[in-house]
Amino acid sequence: MIKLLGKEIYLAALERNDCKRIYDDNEYDFDNPVEATLFGWSAENADEWYGEIQRLLKSDVNIRLGIFLNDGTVIGDVALQSIDRVNRSCSLGIGIAKIDNRGKGYGSQALRLILKYGFCNQGFERITANTMEINVPARKVLEKLGFVLEGRGRKAAYFMGKRIDELNYSLLIDEYSRQ
């Protein structure tokens, strides 16, 4: 079983109970909305999500790991998804369930670990990430990690009654290697 070690967190496979914990702990930040709401999540949804993770792992199109505090508490997940082995590329996704665990650097640590794994162990040469323009924390983290803004999907998302631009970032292996 894979375990990627960071300073305050580690990444490891998500078990069924971890998926349920993430679902149970998921909090929406109404004071700083940056993503669509996912109300109505249930234990059944967590079971379906776990099943989907297992199916996608077998099909080799996603690598999804749990983000765990060093005491073993699962706080979220991070993924390399939409894997294209021919073109050695994929996209990046991350979620931290509880508001209290956001803004503490856990997400940055998780992204550094999964990027190293993707570039150094999986042989990817390009990793992309998309976020809405209003998601300033995600933009700052991506740019801090060396991601380059490639483009803007003008008014590509509808959120909170408004059309919002989607920002498209990428990080190439040679850019990653220079860090």
For residues 2 and 109, the model is more confident at: 109
pLDDT tens-digit series, residues 82-106: 999 999 999 999 999 999 999 999 9
Percentage with pLDDT > 90 across the chain: 73
CA distances for 62 relative to 2, 65, 90, angstroms: 15, 10, 9
Tokens of 91: 């996209």
Mean pLDDT of all residues in 172-177? 97
In three-state form (DSSP H/G/I as H, E/B as E, the rest C), the secondary structure along 13-53 is CCCHHHHHHHHHHCCCCCCCCCCCCCCCCCHHHHHHHHHHH
pLDDT at 54: 84
Is 0.85 topped by the overall pTM?
Answer: yes
Mean pLDDT of all residues in 109-132? 97
Res 141 pLDDT > 90: yes
Q: What is the C-alpha to C-alpha distance for residues 67 and 69, in angstroms, rounded to an integer? A: 7
CA distances for 33 relative to 25, 52, 134, 135, 160, angstroms: 17, 27, 8, 8, 9
Q: Which SS3 state, helix, strand or coil, does residue 104 take?
A: coil
3-177: what fold?
Aminopeptidase (3.40.630)
Predicted confidence band at 32 (pLDDT cuts at 50, 70, 90)? confident
Q: What is the C-alpha to C-alpha distance for residues 60 and 47, in angstroms, rounded to an integer? A: 20
Domain boundaries, the chain: 3-177
Whether the CB-CB separation of 78 and 67 falls below 8 Å is answered with yes
Q: What is the C-alpha to C-alpha distance for residues 133 and 136, in angstroms, rounded to an integer? A: 7
Q: Which residues contact 38 (CB under 8 A, 6 or more apart)?
A: 26, 28
Residue 112, H or E segment: helix 106-116
Count Cβ atoms below 10 Å from residue 96 Cβ, excluding itself. Answer: 22
Res 41 pLDDT > 70: no
In this structure, what DSSP letter does residue 1 have?
-
